[in-house]
Amino acid sequence: MENMIALTIDGVSVEVPAGTSVLEAARKAGIHIPTLCYLKDINEIGACRMCVVDAGGRNLQAACVLPAANGMVVKTNTPAIKQYRKVLLELVLSAHDKKCLSCVRSQNCELQKLCRDLGVEDGDAFKGATNEYKVDDVSPSIVRDNNKCILCRRCVAVCSKIQHVGVIGPVMRGFKTAIESPWQMHLNDMACINCGQCINVCPVGALHEKDDTAKVWAALSDPTKHVVVQPAPAVRAALGEEFGLPMGTSVTGKMATALKRLGFDKVFDTDFGADLTIMEEANELVERIASGGTLPMITSCSPGWIKFCETYYPDFLPNLSSCKSPHEMLGAMAKSYYAKKAGIDPKDIVTVSVMPCTAKKFEAARPELGHDGLADVDIVITTRELAHMIKEAGINFNLLPDSDFDSLMGESTGAAVIFGATGGVMEAALRTAYETLTGSELKDVNFTAVRGVEGIKEATVRIGDTDVNVAVASSTGMAAKLLDSVRAGEKNYAFIEVMACPGGCVNGGGQPIVDADTRAVVDVRAERAKALYGEDMNKPLRKSHENAEIKAIYSDFLGKPGSHVAHELLHTHYTKRPLYNK
């Protein structure tokens, strides 16, 4: 039984387990203490001092690192505390680039909200020297603007603790302290995996994705270009949040309508690409198992994970599936199969992917991902960027009617939509691999053992007369832990799914920003995943190989999974990467 303690916060009695912080105890009591650097379970360092409380000692103390004690009496909102917090905010603002109207995080900025809540109106209360930094915008995915950085260290914590990458950290001391890469190198020259988890946790506009919406607008306005768009599975589970809809609302039909109204010539669905990926990936897994190929086979859908493997675990490169990711497969099909069907020169087709992921911007530029001198995907924008385009176009998203994706590459199954949640690729592949290996119908398609937001999930799946050991890793930090156990001979699997982002694509670096207060009480990963599993349950077909458009593309064009044509267009290779570019 847990050892419980009782304390009083602002006159409210609350009982919590021993070891609970005063901040968490206050939350249980329904009392809000403002924070800025705090990020539950990730960054609990008391650096910003915004959460100070009076616990009866000589000095105010940071509630996020102050253990609750039995009989403690805490005050959170005295005149002295309020004044202390206002001065802190004014000091932060004194070194902050206050171009709020043009900031990418305007109206969704935790610093801005705190100033509003605490009545801080004067950003120049402490005028003085400021540091000026050159914006690091060399990366194809992530822009770093230290002029807006408030030194909260959230980005440092998530990059190091969760992703096990650690390419940014504090340098210098005192007033000169800055969050930088070693030797002040560009982020693009470091072993950054472009996952964008740092963007997701930044409370201000110091980190954001490279904005490629101007490229999309230019393509749409070019009469010589035929512009094809495809949204990823996870986008439909989160886009609604940008328009005030509850987290976990599926907006598939409205999203398709919005894309058509923006002027895209064809609106296909990355879910079709996911079904296509399963056809190739399941075939590859079956062949490896049957022929004694390299096992465990590891999924290759997540570009952040691929770059992590190339950089930190190159000995596992032979284990990676050779399949391109779903949006790259659909891009390749748009410039071959669709181009042929529509009688369009592939050079005149512009493929645009709407992704929950900033690493997809890096992926699209990889020279390995193209054919006949053309990139499979020309432009990648994030969920946030699509929302910005919809707002810029004056489209009232919430009033849009539902519509369907365009035919040829718009049909999908339930197996495809769950790609956006951790464990989804594994489950989708098993649904097809089972029927391929056994030749019999899979009655229950729900492989619930690989569902959930745990960092590592393991299962043994019975396929015919064979037990197949599988595992799922969510975040590159968890992938590192899992691969270390495989490398040491402690674990033995046939198939591993890895997603770079915790929870999978639903929590990707390009998804709508969720503030720290909400993250502390709502599991963003689980809420968004519900939308995808709900779509899966409601789909008439739930196995990739049952998709009629998938059957047609093999019959008309590809031949069969793993064919020569399929390998030419749908498969790729990976190469060891250095830790930094000199």
Under 8 Å between Cβ of 414 and 535? yes
Q: Which of 279, 371, 297 is nearest to 328 (CA)?
A: 371
SS3 assignment, position 144: strand
Q: Which of 134, 340, 368, 576 is catalytic?
A: 368
| Side-chain-facing half-sphere of 565: CA atoms under 13 Å | 13
Q: Which of 281, 328, 497, 535 is catalytic?
A: 281
Q: Which of 363, 303, 311, 368 is nearest to 581 (CA)?
A: 311
Q: Which of 301, 309, 357, 501 is catalytic?
A: 301
Active site residue 368: yes
CA angle 49, 52, 53 (to 5 degrees): 170
Q: Which of 209, 363, 435, 527 is catalytic?
A: 363
- Facing residues of 136 across strands? 144
CA separation for the pair 379, 377 (Å, rounded):
6
CA separation for the pair 275, 550 (Å, rounded):
7
Active site residue 328: no
| Side-chain-facing half-sphere of 345: CA atoms under 13 Å | 4
Q: Which of 24, 280, 284, 427 is catalytic?
A: 284
Q: Which of 51, 505, 527, 539 is catalytic?
A: 505
Reading the block at residue 343, the tokens are 């009688």
Q: Supply the DSSP string of 109-122, one letter for each residue.
A: -HHHHHHHHTT---
Active site residue 281: yes
Active site residue 363: yes
CA angle 476, 479, 485 (to 5 degrees): 150
CA separation for the pair 290, 278 (Å, rounded):
18
Under 8 Å between Cβ of 279 and 330? no
The three-state DSSP-derived secondary structure of 372-428 is CCEECCCEEEEHHHHHHHHHHCCCCHHHCCCCCCCCCCCCCCHHHHHHHCCCHHHHH
Active site residue 321: yes
Number of C-beta neighbours around residue 446 at 10 A: 13
- Facing residues of 54 across strands? 75
In the numeric block, the tokens 């680039």 are attached to: 97
Q: Which of 321, 325, 336, 544 is catalytic?
A: 321
Host H or E run for residue 469: strand 466-474
Q: Which of 254, 360, 361, 539 is catalytic?
A: 360
Active site residue 284: yes
Q: Which of 229, 235, 236, 239 is nearest to 264 (CA)?
A: 229
Under 8 Å between Cβ of 441 and 291? no
In the numeric block, the tokens 């950054």 are attached to: 192
Asked, as a colleague might, if the bond just before 502 is cis with ω within 30 of 0, I would say no
CA angle 297, 564, 276 (to 5 degrees): 55
- Give Cβ neighbours of residue 369 (< 8 Å, ≥ 6 apart): 324, 328, 363, 375, 376, 377, 572
Active site residue 505: yes
CA separation for the pair 247, 518 (Å, rounded):
11
CA angle 236, 242, 244 (to 5 degrees): 105
Reading the block at residue 245, the tokens are 């809809």
**Which residues are annotated as catalytic?**
281, 284, 301, 321, 360, 363, 368, 505
